[in-house]
Chain A
Amino acid sequence: MATKKKRTSNVDNDSWVVIAPGGTEITHFLLFSFFFLNPADAASLYMLGCGDVMLYEVKAFEDDFHSWFVGQAVQRDGRLIFVTPLDPLFLILPYLIKSGKEEKFQRVDQVVKDEEFPACSRLLSCARTLASLHHIAEEKEVESQMYHRYSQEKTMNWLKKKVERTVIALKKKNVSVGEGVKSSTYVRVKSETDNQEEDFIRYSHGLISEYITEDLSKALLTHLGLPELTSPKETEPPSKKRKLSDKPVEAGEDYTKFNSADFARKPPKKMTAAQKSLAKVDKTGMKPMSSFFSPKVKAEKK
């Protein structure tokens, strides 16, 4: 039987391998959960840099079986961390929506407040944050004080622009957006023609939806003039006709596990006379057939 290798979780890392934009000086870590709808999701990590004027999101490339050689040391987690700029409006948006239900004009510094994540008020010091609030809110100036009220219409237009810009970026980077493509490095020689534009818009919408609430995501889809897709429920067998979806393209079933060592096949209840006599043979000390085809079993550590 194949040995079980214990995977210990990656603990006590004191260094990271990070790709960050030049001149990034991280001044503050923001822990932040803006998917209010989804408390199961842990808060995500953001960073403020360059004296709080820049907001960055943090993503990590994580795959099995990777490690780093850093200088004269080995780092067992093969993670590659990316620090990339993020539009602070995405993080401010949920606070505005929440206060928008009161339908009053309010000062943003009173809106963007969070007991759980007190650092969120720092978002307002980000460059152009206050200047760009008009994309998602109506503004009113009273006695040289600015007051804001969330506007769904403005937000939709702003998000639509984001989607359009993302489409341009996707095309420029030759990202495969169609169905049936698994490898991101796979380059199609012929460009797909049917429904291509819609594929791009849907893909782009899916990407933007990573940064907004589900309600907004649905509203945005309508705003883009796209019908909602009825994707098959996960528990049902996939229908024969392929449907467009944002879900990753993956094989639905895994047949290979039946090839594994501990997949025990129950002996058939009815056996022929020959099988019965074979079953009676003393099998102690005999290796299973499969052991001859598997690589040498490594002795378990610990």
Chain B
Amino acid sequence: MDLSPFDDDNSVSCRLVSEIPEVCKTEDCCLGIDEAGRGPVLGPMVYGICFCPLSRKEELKDLKVADSKTLTEAERENLFEKLDEAKSYVGWALQILSPNTISTCMLRRTKYNLNALSHNTAIDLVQYALDSGVQLKEIYVDTVGPADKYEHKLSQRFPGIQVTVRPKADSLFPVVSAASICAKVARDRVVKGWNFTEDLGEVDTDYGSGYPNDPKTKAWLLKYLDPVFGYPQFVRFSWSTAQTLMDSKAVNVHWDDDEEDGEKAAQRQSNKSMLSYFSVSAGGNDQNATHQAHRFFTERRLKSLNTL
């Protein structure tokens, strides 16, 4: 697995692919989808697909690919080697969603939540397989959100393909286990060798699992909190763990789509109360009270200054 395309620029989303086995272009295939690194506040989320001809489904089982969570890191690396050796009939593709991509998607003006991001990444990978000529007939997916809705969405998107969405699919279907191993291995390697674009000097890489409840991760987050910029791009800013720390320890930053209280916002924008339109125009004598600048200036937000 060559991770250099991602290491070159780890601020964006990156796709890594194996060669497409010739047999997959002629025979009917099944495909498994799984992800790694959904929960951590650190590092990327990796989506993986794995595909092989339906006829050789059982051979995957013989490789003893199992649910990646039950395996140690060494075992996973080992199994990935085996998958790589089986490249005559097994193909894979990965989408590495950098933490920066996740942050910017979730925190943008029109929110793009993690489930939607996950679904779309999965769909893109399946489309990639189809575009590469893989004869897909069956898809197996570990669920994200309600299984039946996700299944419906995928079936509609890929008519003619049998879609099966199940929780714990990675322990039920070998092809999903294989996808899960690819994704997990890629994530482990990326996190281990994370290339910090920020100038942090000697970075303390002892950040633990990266999951929000890991004390090591929390300590690391506290240590690398910059009052102005927050965190390196390695951190998912959209995670509440990161947000809570930034809210309490970093400088307050106001964005123009921050929620503001109705009354306050109205006051700030000098909006008038509805009632003022109904009251008899008693207050006609306050006309000279304030000088209203010409609209040339107000439209351009230009103000006179009386002090520097």
Chain A positions within 8 Å of B, measured between CB atoms, are 2-7, 16, 29, 31, 35, 37-38, 40-45, 57-65, 74, 81-82, 175, 182, 184, 203, 206-207, 209-210, 233, 235-237, 246-249, 252-254, 256-263, 294-301
Contact = CB atoms under 8 A, between A and B. Distances in A.
Given A4-B260, A246-B295, A254-B269, 16 more contacts: A43-B306, A59-B302, A60-B303, A61-B300, A64-B268, A184-B299, A206-B294, A209-B294, A210-B293, A233-B281, A236-B281, A246-B294, A257-B263, A261-B262, A294-B259, A298-B247
B305 A59 contact: yes
Given A65-B254, A235-B279, A295-B111, A59 B296 contact: no
A44 B306 contact: yes
Given A35-B291, A44-B305, A253 B258 contact: no
Contacts of B279: 235
Nearest to A210: B294
A237 B283 CA distance: 14
B297 A210 contact: yes
B295 A65 contact: no
A262 B263 contact: yes
Interface string B230-269: 0000000000100110011000101110111111111011
A62 B304 CA distance: 10
Given A44-B306, A248-B295, A254-B269, A184 B300 contact: yes
B308 A16 contact: yes
Nearest to B295: A248
Contacts of B306: 31, 42-45
Given A16-B308, A235-B276, A62 B240 contact: no
Interface in B154-184: none
A296 B247 CA distance: 12
Contacts of B247: 298-301
A9 B250 CA distance: 18
Chain B interface extent, by class = 35 or more
A82 B302 contact: yes
A5 B260 contact: yes
Contacts of B308: 16, 29, 45, 58, 81
Given A16-B308, A63-B301, A257 B271 contact: yes
Contacts of B284: 233, 235
Contacts of A256: 262
Nearest to B302: A59
Given A4-B264, A257-B263, A260-B265, A45 B305 contact: yes
Given A4-B264, A260-B261, A253 B277 contact: yes
Contacts of B262: 256-263
Contacts of A210: 293-294, 297
Nearest to B293: A210
Given A4-B264, A210-B294, A254-B269, A297 B259 contact: yes
B116 to A, nearest CB: 15
Q: List 6 tightest A-B contacts by C-beta distance, closest first.
A: A260-B262, A248-B295, A254-B271, A257-B262, A235-B281, A65-B256
A42 to B, nearest CB: 4
Given A2-B261, A237-B277, A295-B111, A7 B303 contact: no
A210 B291 CA distance: 10
Contact of A299 (B111, B248, B290, B307): B248
23 contacts: A5-B254, A31-B307, A37-B288, A40-B288, A43-B306, A44-B305, A45-B307, A59-B302, A59-B304, A60-B305, A65-B256, A81-B305, A175-B296, A207-B294, A210-B297, A233-B284, A247-B295, A248-B298, A248-B299, A257-B263, A296-B243, A299-B247, A301-B248
